[in-house]
Structure 1
Amino acid sequence: VFFVLRKKQSHVSFLHVYHHVNMVVTTWTFLRFIKVQQGAICGALNALIHSIMYSYYFLSALGPHMQKYLWWKKYLTRLQIIQFILGIIYGISLFIYDCEFPRLFTIYMIFDVLLFLYLFLIFYKKTYKDKET
């Protein structure tokens, strides 16, 4: 919504729209039907990454004079990629150790996070790697 209001149509990508729509549906499903503590670790890690991300956005919104302090944007994207890798490992461990977490939802989450990882790797390559060459 903020990208559209600020006329930043280039920021409205499949990755962005899919991520936000998917998170609403997945979180609602989890909180409505599953409600086990195994999801808390993923939520805490996601909150940490988003706190760092929105700190970056806040600083960048202060104006062009802040650009010299915002050299760490690509490392933020790397942190998000690491978050997805950790999420996949965690999901696989939930599946292997057969805890109270529903197996079908575990499989869904593993494939969903794999898709996020794939989309973020494409974004990272397009944004950072292609500009280096």
Structure 2
Amino acid sequence: HTQIMWWVLLVKIADCTETIMFILRNKDKQLSILHLYHHISSVVIAWLIVRYYSEEISTFVSMVNCTVHVFMYIYYFLATFGSRIQAIIMPVKPYITILQMVQFFGLMLYALQFLMPNCQVPNSFGIGLLLNVTINWYLFYKFYKNTYVSSKIKQ
């Protein structure tokens, strides 16, 4: 499990290159608190799991997150085929954000198990994970509301 989690950590660090590219290309519109918090906290959580808890919590969090990323990157890949394909797949975009929020809600429930008596993972990690996924859920919810709900109201 530890070796898999090292690979996950490397992927999370690689994900941060997107943030670096936004900064280097002056894409300030794409650089949000959600984006920064999500990528930085993902690296921190992955590192904590590798360093301290990889045997205890195995790879569940990463498996769930990678599954969501598969759908997200399929969408991004299809979007590279031009405006005609983008118009076809555009209705799917809000559902990807919903899938991300469902992921975080599920991870909130998962984090609660670390607060149970007899759990070998320290409560502090469970509290930290619960706090992190709750913040991520809130930031994605705010993004969803501002991007998809508010824009429909304005139309």
With normalisation by structure 2, the TM-score equals: 0.78
Cα distance in 2 for residues equivalent to 1:92 and 1:64: 43
**In the alignment, which of 134, 142, 145 is matched to residue 114 of structure 1?**
134
- Give the match for residue 72 of structure 1: 92
Pair 132,77 (structure 1): closer, same or farther in 2 beyond 3 Å: same
- Give the match for residue 65 of structure 2: 46
8 Å CA contact 1:36, 1:101 repeated in 2: no
Please tell me the root mean square deviation across aligned C-alpha atoms, in Å: 1.6
* Residue 32 (structure 2) pairs with residue 13 (structure 1): yes
8 Å CA contact 1:84, 1:113 repeated in 2: yes
- Give the match for residue 115 of structure 2: 95
Cα distance in 2 for residues equivalent to 1:69 and 1:102: 47
- Give the match for residue 58 of structure 1: 77
Deviations 1:86-121 (A, max 9, x none): 000111123225422221111100011110111111
The number of residue pairs the alignment matches comes to 133
8 Å CA contact 2:68, 2:100 repeated in 1: yes
Structure 1 gap segments, 5+ residues each: none
AA matched with 1:35? S
Cα distance in 1 for residues equivalent to 2:110 and 2:57: 9
What's the CA shift for 1:39?
Answer: 4.3
Structure 2 gap segments, 5+ residues each: 1-19
